[in-house]
Structure 1
Amino acid sequence: MGQLTPIASRLVIALDDEYLRMQNEWFFKWHFIGRDGPVEIDSFDGKTITCGGVTFWGSIQHMYWDIIQRYLRKKVSSIFDDLEQELRKYPVEIRQLALIEVRGIIGQFITKIRRAAIAKDRVLRGNGIDFPPEKDRGKWEGARSSDIETRIAGLSDIYCQGNIEIEGKKMPLKSIMNDRLSLVKKDGSLVRENIPGLVTKNQITTVATDLPIEPGDHFLRKLPSGLVEDFTVTDPQFFGKVHGIEAHFQVQVIRSDMPASSPQTAIQNITNVFHGANARVNLSSIDNSVNNASTLSVKQISDFLDQVRPAIAALPIPQQAEIAGPLSVLEDEVKELEPSQSKIRTALQSIKGVVEGAAGNLVAAGIGALIGQILG
C-alpha cells in the first residue's frame, strides 16, 4: 500500500486492531456456549447475554446474527462520527484524498467482519467433523455499500467544497449550482438537459466537466416564469482540480439579443439557424417527438452491470473503491421508471476515467472498452 493520508493511516491500524479484538474476544466466546459453565457475550446494546449448555440453532442462532449486525451497524456509524472530527483538522485537499482512501478501508473491514460471522456460523452449526455449507444470514443494514456511499457523499458535501471566485466573489462550488441548463450544439442538436450550473452576467459555471462545449454552442436556461434565456458560448474555459476545488468549466457567454421568450420561440430561433439529424431541443413538454440517437436503454445498462459486477474484484483496490459510487448510481437509475440519461452517462464516464488509470490491468481495459462501445 502506498503512502496514505494521516487520517487513513490511523484508521487502518485502528480497524486492524478492532478486527483482531473481535476475533479473539467476541467470536471466540461462542465456542463455549454448549459447555456447562455460562459465558458472557457482549450484545452491543449496553448489555451482555449469558449462555451455557445450549446448542447453536433456533433462537440462539438468530440472536447471534442480530448481535453481529447491530455491532457492525453501530461500528460503521462510530467510524464516520470519528472521521468527521478528524476531517476538520486538515485542509480541503487532504480531506478529499482521505475520503477516497477510507471508503476502501471501511469496505474491507466490513467484508472481513461479515466473512468472520459467516465462517463462525458454519463452525458452530457443525459437529467438529462435518460442517454445513456457509450461509450469510445478515441483511447488514447500515453497513452496505449504499450506506457507505451516502455517508461519504455527506461528508464530502460538508467538508470538501473549495471556494472559487466568480465575478469577484468567493463561492462554494457545488452549493451554487442551482440553475438547470440545456446545451445545444452549433448544428442544433441537443447534447444534454438538466445540467447543474450557475448563470451570472457573462459567465456560466458548471461542474459537468464531460460536456463537449465549443464556441458558438448555446446554453438555454428556463426561468421560473416558464420563459427561456439563450446564451451563446464565446470561450469555454476548463479548470482542472486544484487545492480542493473540483474540476469545472467557467464558460464565457453573451446573452442572445433576443429577449427572454417562450420555449417554443427559443427553440424556433435555434432551429431556424441550425439544422442537423437531431436538430431539436426538448424543454418541458414542448417537443414530444422521440429522439433515439443518443438514448441509452435500461437493458444496455443492466447488461453492463451484469458483466462488470463479477469482475470488480480483479481491479486494483483503489479503482474498486472509486467506481463503487458511479456503479451505485447506475444500479439506482435502472430501477427508475424514467432513468436520467445525464446521470447514466456521467456515471459511465466516471467509471471509464477510473479504469483508464489502472494501466496494465486487463479487466480495467475490458471495462473501459465496454463503456466505449456503449457511449459510441
Structure 2
Amino acid sequence: MNPFKDFPHSDFEVVTPEGEVRESGSGIFTGDTVVVFNEKLQVFANDEIRRRLPNGSDEAFTVVDPVFYQKMMGLEAHFQIKVRRKGTFPHHTGGHFNITVSGENARVNIGSTDNSTNVVNNSGVFADLINAIEGGVENVEQKAVLVEAVKDMEKAKGTGGFAASYAKFMGLAADHIGVVTPFLAPLASMIGG
C-alpha cells in the first residue's frame, strides 16, 4: 500500500544542464523535496525539474540531491529528490532553456528555415592591418610598401581585382607573417566578394 497515493501529483520534466528534456514524469512536490515513484527515473544533481503550473508557466527547481529508496515495508521504491526553487518562467524559457547567441550574423531558427544572407563589414580590417604593420615592421621601406599594398587591397575590395591585390600583398608580407597572420582570414573571405 502506498500512503502517498492520495497526495496531489504534478507532471514534470527533467531538463539537463544543456537544456534538453531527458524525460517526463509525475511526482509529489513538498517544498524542497520531490517524491517520484519511478525507480527508472534518470535524474542527476544540477538537472532541472520543471512542473507546469495551471497558468501555463513553468516552476523550475534545481536538483540538489536525488536519493533512491528501495521498496520496503509496503512503500514502493522511489526517489526523494532534494531541490532548490529557481523561480517561475514562461513555458520552456529561462532556467536551463536559456539560449545565448553571439558573433557576427548570429541567429537562432526554431521551427523555421534560415534563408538569410550574411553581410559583414570588414572595412575596419584594413585600418587595423595598417596599424599592425606600422607597429610591427621596423624597416621603413618595407613598411611603406606593405601599407601601400593594403591601401591597394582596400581600393580593390568588392571588385574582380581584389584577388590580385591580395596575392601581391601576400608576396610582400611573407617576411612579416607574424604581424599579418591575424588578418589573413578576414582578408581571404573578401576574395570573390
Q: What is the TM-score normalised by the length of structure 1?
A: 0.26
Task: Find the structure with the greater CA-based Rg.
Answer: 2
Between structures 1 and 2, the one with greater strand share: 2
Which has the larger helix fraction? 1
